[in-house]
């Protein structure tokens, strides 16, 4: 449904998106995941038609909606795509029903059709009893549902979301994740969702595109991104907790502990938090760290220590107090190796 070919976007000579190519299947739920400033919102705005690419092509199905090489872009209202902003962007002088009805009026649908679609959208989001209230009279979570109802009422083939849950508290975010997935399943629309929250990404996505500095570092199903990161950035950014990246030099952990499993490499060795074990005493297979913090999680503990300027985390079943210095036993082999540029080594 969505295809990008060598898409780039620059602002005043500064590249925000760099040579992005990907293909999103019909009905997929794609999450653009990455830190602030990586280009994910710019990507979404180009899909919505709010920005034009500086280079490359964007297709929706068989239709070219933007061509940066030729310098033209199809208007947002001709793309059959709906967009939900982080700020909800509801009209305060209109009722809930009026907000949902407005894009249908713009599309010049008949009154009976508009009323039926408004009621269907409000029912789908569970807010029909709020139809005659104004945005200032309802909660943030209810306003988000109104924004969703307004977006789905025109029945777009593509739904776009720009960090729509970031203004909600933790409990509401969990609830709204379920609502978004339910709407996605009910409409069958192809969805693109921008977030820096990897929990949202991993629980909602059928496909994840991890972005960094305007480029896509990896595009794959979420399970593959977690299990088989293609770059040091992906390994460091994705996961709860993310994997540890331990510097290696000439086949030695931290340049100190030689290990044949490192194959003489220089760069980073990936060690998952669950692959570190706490040892009671130092040895030639341990890293000796200053205890930084412990966090209980799901009946286990995340233990974080510092060595030099490096923070490392282990998941452990250890109970009771820990000393000021802890010893992380190295695994028999790292989960992955990356070179000094962050590229995955075979």
- Per-domain boundaries in the chain: 2-232, 241-339
Pick the CATH number of 2-232 from 3.90.105.10, 3.40.50.300, 3.30.413.10, 3.40.640.10: 3.40.50.300
Distance CA 201, CA 34 (A): 10
Say if residue 135 is preceded by a cis peptide, omega within 30 of 0. Answer: no
Q: Does residue 85 register a pLDDT over 90?
A: no
Strand partners, 209: 32, 219
> Does 171 score more than 90 pLDDT?
no
Apex 161 CA angle, 226 and 24, nearest 5: 55
* 295 phi and psi angles, rounded to 5 deg: -130, 120
The pLDDT mean for the chain works out to 94
pLDDT at 92 over 90: yes
Look at the alpha carbons of 317, 318, 321, 323 in this order and tell me if their dihedral is positive or negative: negative
Cα dihedral value 179, 140, 43, 45, nearest 10:
120
Tokens coding 186 = 């009910």
List pLDDT tens digits, range 302-318. 999 999 999 999 999 98
Sequence-distant (6+) residues with CB within 8 A of 240 are 198, 199, 202
Cα–Cα distance between 129 and 83 in angstroms, integer? 24
CB 269 within 8 A of CB 253: yes
**How would residue 165 be classed by pLDDT, with cut points 50, 70 and 90?**
confident
DSSP-based three-state secondary structure for 77:
helix
Per-residue 3-state assignment (H helix, E strand, C coil) for 103-164: HHHHCCCCHHHHHHHHHHHHHHCCCHHHCCCCHHHCCHHHHHHHHHHHHHCCCCCEEEEECC
Q: Which band of pLDDT confidence, cut at 50, 70 and 90, is reported for residue 140?
A: confident
Which pLDDT does position 167 carry in this prediction?
A: 78
Cβ distance 235 to 242 under 8 Å?
yes
Tell me the pLDDT band of 58, cut-offs 50, 70 and 90: very high
Phi-psi region of 179 (alpha: psi -120 to 50; beta: other; left: phi over 0): alpha
Residue the block writes with tokens 């030639």: 284
Query: Residue 67 region, left (φ>0) first, then alpha (ψ -120 to 50), else beta?
Result: beta
pLDDT at res. 101 = 97
CA 136, CA 90: separation in Å to the nearest integer?
Answer: 10
Residue 307 CB partners (closer than 8 Å, separation 6+): 254, 287, 288, 289, 290
Question: Confidence band (pLDDT; 50, 70, 90) for 87?
Answer: confident
Query: Token digits for 217?
Result: 């570092």
Q: For the segment 258-293, what is each residue's pLDDT rounded down to a tens digit?
A: 999 999 999 999 999 999 999 999 999 999 999 999
Measured between its terminal Cα atoms, the distance across the chain in Å is: 33
């Amino acid at each position: 449904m969505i295809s990008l070919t060598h898409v780039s976007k620059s602002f005043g000579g500064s590249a925000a998106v760099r040579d992005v190519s990907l293909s999103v299947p019909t009905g997929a739920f794609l999450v653009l995941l990455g830190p602030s400033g990586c280009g994910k919102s710019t990507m979404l705005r180009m899909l919505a038609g709010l920005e034009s690419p500086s280079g490359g092509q964007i297709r929706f199905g068989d239709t070219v909606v933007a061509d940066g090489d030729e310098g033209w872009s199809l208007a947002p209202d001709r793309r059959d795509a709906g967009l939900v902003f982080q700020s909800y962007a509801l009209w305060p002088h209109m009722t809930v029903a009026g907000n949902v009805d407005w894009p249908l009026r713009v599309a010049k649908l008949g009154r009976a059709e508009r009323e039926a679609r408004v009621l269907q959208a409000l029912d789908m989001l569970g807010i029909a009893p709020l139809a005659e209230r104004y945005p200032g009279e309802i909660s943030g979570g209810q306003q988000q549902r109104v924004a969703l109802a307004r977006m789905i009422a025109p029945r777009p083939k593509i739904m776009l979301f720009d960090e729509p849950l970031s203004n909600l508290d933790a409990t509401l975010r969990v609830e709204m994740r379920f609502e978004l997935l339910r709407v996605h399943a009910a409409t069958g629309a192809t969805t693109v969702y921008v977030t820096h929250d990897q929990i949202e990404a991993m629980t909602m996505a059928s496909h994840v595109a991890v972005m960094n500095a305007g480029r896509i570092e990896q595009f794959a199903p979420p399970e593959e991104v977690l299990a088989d990161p293609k770059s040091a950035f992906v390994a460091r950014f994705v996961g709860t907790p993310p994997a540890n990246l331990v510097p290696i030099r000439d086949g030695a952990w931290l340049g100190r502990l030689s290990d044949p499993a490192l194959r003489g490499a220089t760069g980073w060795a990936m060690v998952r938090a669950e692959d570190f074990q706490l040892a009671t005493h130092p040895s030639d297979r341990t890293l000796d760290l200053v205890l930084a913090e412990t966090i209980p999680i799901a009946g286990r503990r995340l233990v974080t220590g510092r060595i030099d300027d490096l923070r490392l985390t282990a998941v452990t079943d250890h109970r009771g107090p820990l000393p000021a210095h802890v010893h992380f036993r190295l695994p028999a082999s790292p989960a992955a190796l990356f070179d000094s540029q962050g590229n995955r080594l075979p």
